[in-house]
Amino acid sequence: MTPAAGAAIPVSETKALSRREISKVIWGSSLGTVFEWYDFFVYGTLAAILGPLFFSRELGETGAFLASLATYGAGLVIRPFGSLVFGRLGDLVGRKYTFLITIILMGVSTAGIGFLPTYETAGIVATLLLVSLRLLQGLALGGEYGGAAIYVAEHVSTHNRGHATGYIQICATAGFFLSLVVVLSTQYISGPDFKVWGWRVPFILSTAMLLASVYIRSRLNESPVFVRMKAEGRTSSSPLRESFASRANLKLILLSLFGAVAGVGVVWYTSQFYVLIFMQKVLKIDLATSYLLMSIALAAAVPFYVVFGWLSDKWGRKPILLVGLAMTALTYVPLFKALTHYGNPALDLAMRTTPVQIASSDCKIRMFEGPQNDCEKVKDHLVANGIPHTVVPSVQKGTTVIIGDKKIEGLDIAQMKAALTAAGYPASSNPGQINRPMVVLVIFVLLLYSCACYGPLAAYLVELFPARIRYTSLSMPYHLGTGYVGGFMLYFATLIASATGNIFDGLYYSIAVSWLSVIVGFFLLPETKGRDISA
């Protein structure tokens, strides 16, 4: 007899779940997690639009965009703190009720962004409110992933753990995909008013998703492993102390952070968010086209999270994960060069035949203030328009812009624009020249790397830590690695590329972190496939 909705599964029945009940666990957990990731990622999807709406124009185009990315980062900063709060709660009172709380907090804070005033009407208050709601989103997400991954893993058999938790790994990408679809649809419906009021709709829609998610999760049963532990009196009374005061467990937390999660984090953000920003800001592909191309590639790639999770049940977690990381480190730059070639052939030709140089004795990138001198204003214009360039040190005072064989003295934006046009630098990508099938293929390959790294990760982390402190111990390295190291990839990659002027230099942040995880993971992390996770 199936237990009533919401009732705990008796200890005697924890090993007798039917296939239908397992499917309910997987899909119930996954759908709620998809909605929660949608709430978190819809801001990132709209980052390029929200910058000018919530930050002062005095920051300049590059400064406003960097500030928008930094605000996205505010949600990332708080995620590890959310993992402490909700991880402890999950180990004390149970998996189910903890991730029910997180989804309510996420839904309310996301809907709130849709009702915020802009900087033009409320000034700095609008900025502060936006940052505050992003912090609440990050706090909620800090307790979500661990709860969903553990909940599913603790219901399924050992030989099916990678496959089953692969569905949880789909959720982040599915949430991102859903945010793209909603934003694209809203943009189509609202037309030119999208930047006026249409951007609010994707946030407000989260209210409906919140109600659906609460309904789904309220009907799920508690994890059988947790039920058994509680019945046997084996639950932890102090999950935080047991997780971090134990030298052996702390070692596992640190090794999993640097040997797996940090690398997976940068790969995930590079293949999904950074590639989208790269298409829009550098290749100057319009929003609708870039969202559409990204959505097609995402739809094709999503099933491979489950495929690689299933393969990890056969071949082990480490081989799949580490090969994926190594492939990204080896091929990122060639793949992004291919993306440039197929996405904006005119830009690719111009940057190879007519390089742009700035000769100046004083030229900096200022993160949270506007450009101060002619060189910085020229550089800000070039970065904002996705023009690759190099800065050449000069003993002469003043600034000289060199475009091929043409020299422009001082700050003359109009003359510089004319010279760039004459040199073949396009103001935007020509829709007729975009090789759409090849762009989708390149993005698909990038996403495939993400699937290989991310697919086995949930099963690996669940198997790495003991049941009594699993929620706390798993959540911390995950949110440090994906939230800090991975999440700030967008900011640091943009900052590096802006500072050097080379549109591909930002990728070396991801490449360096990927190699770090490959080395640490290969030599120091254990294989976990087949472990008993009830202990």
- 19-41 pLDDT tens trace: 777 888 888 788 778 887 787 77
Output phi, psi for 372, to 5 deg: -105, -25
Average pLDDT over residues 425-444: 95
* Residue 370 pLDDT exceeds 80: no
* Residue 493 pLDDT exceeds 60: yes
CB 461 within 8 A of CB 57: no
pLDDT of residue 265: 95
The rounded distance, in Å, linking the Cα atoms of 59 and 48 is 14
Any idea which of 9-23, 52-66, 146-160, 337-351 has the lowest mean pLDDT?
Answer: 9-23
* Residue 144 pLDDT exceeds 90: no
Average pLDDT over residues 474-497: 90
pLDDT of residue 1: 39
Average pLDDT over residues 188-201: 88
Contacts of 227 (CB under 8 A, 6+ apart): 8, 9, 10, 11, 14
Nearest Cα to Cα of residue 388 among 291, 486, 278? 278
Average pLDDT over residues 422-449: 95
* Residue 234 pLDDT exceeds 60: yes
If you search the block for the tokens 């005095």, which residue do you land on? 58
Question: What domains does the chain contain, in order, with CATH numbers?
Answer: 15-344+432-524 (1.20.1250.20), 347-422 (3.40.30.10)
Query: Which is more confidently placed, 4 or 30?
Result: 30
Segment 102-143, tens digit of pLDDT: 888 988 998 998 999 988 888 889 889 988 998 998 898 888
For residue 195, the tally of other CB atoms under 10 A from its CB is: 14
For residue 405, the tally of other CB atoms under 10 A from its CB is: 7
pLDDT of residue 8: 38
The rounded distance, in Å, linking the Cα atoms of 463 and 493 is 33
Q: Which two tokens stand for residue 284?
A: 């100057």
pLDDT of residue 15: 53
Helix, strand or coil, per DSSP, at residue 409: strand
Beta strands 406-409; 356-360: pairing state: unpaired
Torsion 175-176-177-180 (CA) sign = positive
pLDDT of residue 204: 92
The rounded distance, in Å, linking the Cα atoms of 88 and 86 is 5
Q: Rounded to whole angstroms, what are the CA distances from 84 to 115, 317, 368?
A: 30, 26, 30
pLDDT of residue 6: 41
Query: Which is more confidently placed, 61 or 500?
Result: 500
Q: Which residues pair with 408 in a beta bridge?
A: 401
Percent of the chain with pLDDT over 90: 45
Nearest Cα to Cα of residue 402 among 383, 442, 429, 375? 375
The rounded distance, in Å, linking the Cα atoms of 519 and 524 is 8
Mean pLDDT of the chain: 87
The rounded distance, in Å, linking the Cα atoms of 290 and 519 is 35
Q: Which two tokens stand for residue 471?
A: 């929620």
Average pLDDT over residues 187-204: 89
Segment 76-92, tens digit of pLDDT: 788 899 999 999 998 99
**pTM of the complete model:** 0.84
Any idea which of 10-14, 109-113, 389-393 has the lowest mean pLDDT?
Answer: 10-14
pLDDT of residue 62: 67
